[in-house]
Amino acid sequence: MAGKALIVLSVNCADKSAKVKYQVESEREYDYALVRLDRNTLIKVVGLLGHKFVGKSPLSYTQYELKNLADKLMTDRTDIVMGKGVSPTPSPRPVPTVPAPTVTVTPTVHAKPAGIEDALRNVITEAMSAYTENGVDKDVVTQIVNEAIGAHVAETQKSIDALTRIIAESKPEVKHITLTGGVVRKIEGRTHFLFDKVLRVVDAGLSPWITGSAGVGKTMLAEQIATALGLEYSPESFCSQSSKAEVKGYKDGHGLYQSVDFRKRFEEGGVYLLDEIDAANPNILLTLNSALSNGWMMFPDGKVKRHEKFVAIASANTYGNGATAEYVGRQVIDGSTLNRFVKFDMPIDEIMEAGIVNDLSVDATSGRTWLDIVRKARANVVSSGLKVIISPRDSYHGAKLLNAGFTFQECVPMTFGSGMKSEQYAKVMAGITMPAGGARV
């Protein structure tokens, strides 16, 4: 059953996406493609697009049918916002600097199967044998299912979704990214759905600021950006006690200059991650302003010109506006520093999260069971408005604990359930049935 519908703020007909947020009072907004929306949210989207459900309940539509309906309604229409009409004039489609990765699968034609079970068996065989270097395309898998099962598509949609999910979790796609100058980079492994956008910003010579909750994958994304660009990678975690010496280096007692990673990346090229930048002393960060915008910086041994392949990426849990209930050690960052970055809001990528849990789990079934527990608890946190962090890191730690022989019941207090008051714990675990035992190792 689909969960509570998201709040739909607007629909981008050109990109086949919707801008949504989880709660009315929340300041965070997310751009989600149609394929990432649940059934209840899709009902809102098609309603916003002007569709009237006549003679058939909206709840009788499958997620697949609603996605196709929304896709059809978006044709030849421009963006619409809540409370405003739909224009018949199509919006111009933006031309991205980096094209989306191409995925190719060539299916084999099978004779029409006698029943649903045989059809699904053929689908699974075909999908698993269709791996190419570029991975598996969900649309192609769905097309194979449609052709094989025909009239039975509606009643087997759950099996289709489960099959596609298992394929995506079992084998991450390989991307070929074209950068400025026609340089093509091969990206392997699991990437967050924001990866392409952040890479395009970096390729354009700009510095991204990535805001997201703990464990969402900010550090991993920065390292993958460095790999994609073929550059050295140097992360630095900041705190209120960080000093200028960690950025500029220093002269020792003999008057000799001692370099640091920032200086090396600035002068020789590479990706430098300012991790936990919102925990740094804002006065220290002011020393970076000239490095980020002017192309040069003063160091203890003189003025240094920025290398053309120097990349600065900032990651944070806040937007630089100071401490929050969840992140109490955060600083208010000077506006002159904030203004030098391109901002990204990085939500949890549930496809990547599920894939990593699958990679980590010795017992795939117990791994998916644990992931379901984490996600239900996370949904309870949102619906109850609790100041509790349940991140993908809890999913990954739980999978490893299950591998080590711990039970599901033991994993909860060792991960997201630690330190909670009894009434808070009850709200987080509402409606969750904890299975007995653990992984079959």
Does residue 94 have a pLDDT over 60? no
Higher pLDDT, 70 or 93: 70
CA atoms of 13 and 6, how far apart (whole Å): 18
Both tokens of 282, joined, read 């804002």
pLDDT digits (tens, 9 = 90+) for 17-49: 889 887 777 778 888 888 788 888 888 888 888
Give me the pLDDT at residue 121, please: 61
Over residues 52-67, mean pLDDT: 78
The residue to which tokens 């298992």 are assigned = 166
Over residues 167-187, mean pLDDT: 73
End-to-end CA distance of the chain: 31
**Torsions phi, psi for 271 (to 5 deg):** -100, 125
Give me the pLDDT at residue 83, please: 47
Does residue 108 have a pLDDT over 50? no
CA atoms of 436 and 192, how far apart (whole Å): 33
Give me the pLDDT at residue 52, please: 82
- Residue 435: what residue type? P
Over residues 151-176, mean pLDDT: 63
pLDDT digits (tens, 9 = 90+) for 262-287: 999 999 999 999 999 999 988 888 88
Give me the pLDDT at residue 270, please: 96
CA 252 to chain centroid: 43
CA atoms of 137 and 145, how far apart (whole Å): 13
Does residue 111 have a pLDDT over 60? no
Over residues 205-230, mean pLDDT: 94
Does residue 416 have a pLDDT over 80? yes
**228, 210 Cβ separation under 8 angstroms:** no
**231, 308 Cβ separation under 8 angstroms:** no
Average pLDDT taken over every residue of the chain: 81
Does residue 163 have a pLDDT over 70? no
**Torsions phi, psi for 53 (to 5 deg):** -85, 95
Higher pLDDT, 405 or 64: 405
- Alpha carbon distances (Å) from 400 to 216, 301, 414: 17, 48, 12
Nearest to 315 by CA among 382, 215, 231: 215
Give me the pLDDT at residue 32, please: 85
**Residues whose CB is less than 8 angstroms from the CB of residue 195 and which lie 6 or more positions away in sequence, other chains included:** 187, 221, 224, 225
Give me the pLDDT at residue 323, please: 85
Higher pLDDT, 86 or 436: 436
Give me the pLDDT at residue 179, please: 79
Give me the pLDDT at residue 375, please: 95
Place 68 in a pLDDT band, splitting at 50, 70 and 90. confident
Higher pLDDT, 109 or 318: 318
Over residues 148-157, mean pLDDT: 58
State percent of the chain over pLDDT 70: 76
Does residue 109 have a pLDDT over 60? no
- The domains found in the chain, sorted by start residue, are 7-81 (no CATH), 116-170 (no CATH), 175-345 (3.40.50.300), 356-428 (no CATH)
β-pairing, 184-187 with 175-178? antiparallel
Nearest to 371 by CA among 347, 389, 350: 350
Nearest to 277 by CA among 320, 225, 325: 320
For 328, counting Cβ atoms within 10 Å of its Cβ (0-12 exposed, 13-18 middle, 19+ buried), the class is: exposed
Does residue 154 have a pLDDT over 60? no
